[in-house]
Structure 1
Amino acid sequence: MEVILLERIAKLGQMGDEVRVKDGFARNYLLPKGKALRANKANRERFERERAQLEAHNLERKSEAEAVAAKLAGSSYVAIRSAGDGGQLYGSVSTRDIADLVTAGGATLLRTQVALANPIKTLGLHEVVLALHPEVDVTVIVNVARTEEEAERQAKGEDVTQRRDDEYEEEAPALEELMDDEGLAHEVSGEPEADGGEEEEQA
């Protein structure tokens, strides 16, 4: 389907461009959301009549988005999740979760504005892009941790997953030493029995 864009659409074009898109994308998204018109003579004339108004409205929305972006730039949001020692989450952090975190922080955000290809499934600091407007993006940090204390350590640059591995490596030699001591104790306690057995055989 040929449509006339009423605003900039990523990977499609700028306001006023006529582009061909899949029918489903046009009917289910572009047309009902007011982002495009069917490309025909009547709508071309309508667009030209309303162009100045559309551009003014777009500029207003862009200015509002830039103000929000300025407030959100560099912001960090903590998401507490259960995870294994390797850092793999038992669940995930989705676009809806991130939108809820940002909204709880005081800025209204829709899940569709979170540019996340796949849900977050590991602990750590994750950069996430928020598309506040077709021409305005901002990057925030989502700090995924098992506890608030762990999130604070991550924010300082500590790899909490690596620390757990290091702790295990420190404990391993002590465990091996303990096992060696126990083995030696068994050997010492077993020597008299071996000698006693030999004496009985000689008798």
Structure 2
Amino acid sequence: MQVVLLERVEKLGQMGDVVRVKDGFARNFLLPRKKAMRATKANIEHFEGQRVHLEARNLELKAEAEQVHGKVNGQSFIVLRSAGETGILYGSVSTRDVAAAMTDGGFSTARNQVVLDKPIKAMGLHNVRVVLHPEVFATITINVARTEDEAKRQAAGEDLSQRHDEEDEVSHEATEFFESEELAPDDEEEISVETAGNQEEDQDQA
């Protein structure tokens, strides 16, 4: 399907470009989100008649997005989730969760503005891209932790997943130590019995 872009679309083109895309992409994404319209003769003529207005409006929205960019770019937002000892989440953090965290932090954001290559499934600090405008992008940090305290420690640079591995290793070593201590009395008893046996043999020989 051929469409006329009503705004810049990444990897497709700029406002006013006529491009060919797959029908499903046009019907499910471009057309319902008003990022493009079918490239019919009537639509192209309508676009050209509105072009000056659309370009002026686009510049206004871009300027607003750049102001937001100056405030939100580089910011960190905390998302609390349950996770195992190795830091793997029981579930995942989605675009909806990121948008909610940003909105709670004072930056109204829709889930379709959040770009995640794949859901976040582990604790830690994750860089996430946010589309503020077709030509303006911000990068934020999502701090995924189990508690506020852990989030602060992660923000300070502590690797909690590595810490848990070290704690498991120490725990394992401690377990082995106490098991060996429990065996020690048995060893002493065997030595005592053996000594007593030797004494009896000496008495018989005498």
Q: Distance in 2 between matches of 1:52 and 1:197?
A: 109
Aligned residue in 2 for 1:121 = 121
In structure 2, the residue corresponding to 1:91 is in which secondary structure?
A: strand
Cα deviation for residue 31 of structure 1 reads 2.2
Structure 1 gaps of 5+ residues are: none
Over residues 54-76 of structure 1, what are the superposed CA-to-partner deviations in whole Å (9 max), with x where a residue is unaligned?
Answer: 00111111111111111111111
Q: Distance in 2 between matches of 1:117 and 1:78?
A: 19
In structure 2, the residue corresponding to 1:98 is in which secondary structure?
A: helix
Residue-pair matches, total: 201
Q: Distance in 1 between matches of 2:70 and 2:180?
A: 61
Aligned residue in 1 for 2:10 = 10
In structure 2, the residue corresponding to 1:14 is in which secondary structure?
A: coil
1:107 aligns with 2:107: yes
Percent identity of equivalent pairs = 55
Question: Which TM-score applies when normalising by structure 1?
Answer: 0.90
Cα deviation for residue 196 of structure 1 reads 7.3
Cα deviation for residue 7 of structure 1 reads 0.5
Structure 2 gaps of 5+ residues are: none
Letter of the 1:161 partner, please give it. Answer: S
User: What value does the CA root-mean-square deviation take over the aligned residues?
Assistant: 2.1
Q: Distance in 2 between matches of 1:190 and 1:165?
A: 38
In structure 2, the residue corresponding to 1:128 is in which secondary structure?
A: strand
Aligned residue in 2 for 1:36 = 36
Cα deviation for residue 154 of structure 1 reads 0.5
1:150 aligns with 2:150: yes
Cα deviation for residue 30 of structure 1 reads 1.9
Aligned residue in 2 for 1:165 = 165
Q: Distance in 1 between matches of 2:35 and 2:176?
A: 67
Letter of the 1:18 partner, please give it. Answer: V
In structure 1, the residue corresponding to 2:89 is in which secondary structure?
A: strand
Q: Distance in 2 between matches of 1:34 and 1:166?
A: 52
In structure 1, the residue corresponding to 2:28 is in which secondary structure?
A: helix
Q: Distance in 2 between matches of 1:119 and 1:188?
A: 58
Cα deviation for residue 175 of structure 1 reads 3.0
Aligned residue in 2 for 1:94 = 94
Of residues 186-195 and 125-134 in structure 1, the stretch that sits farther from structure 2 once superposed is 186-195
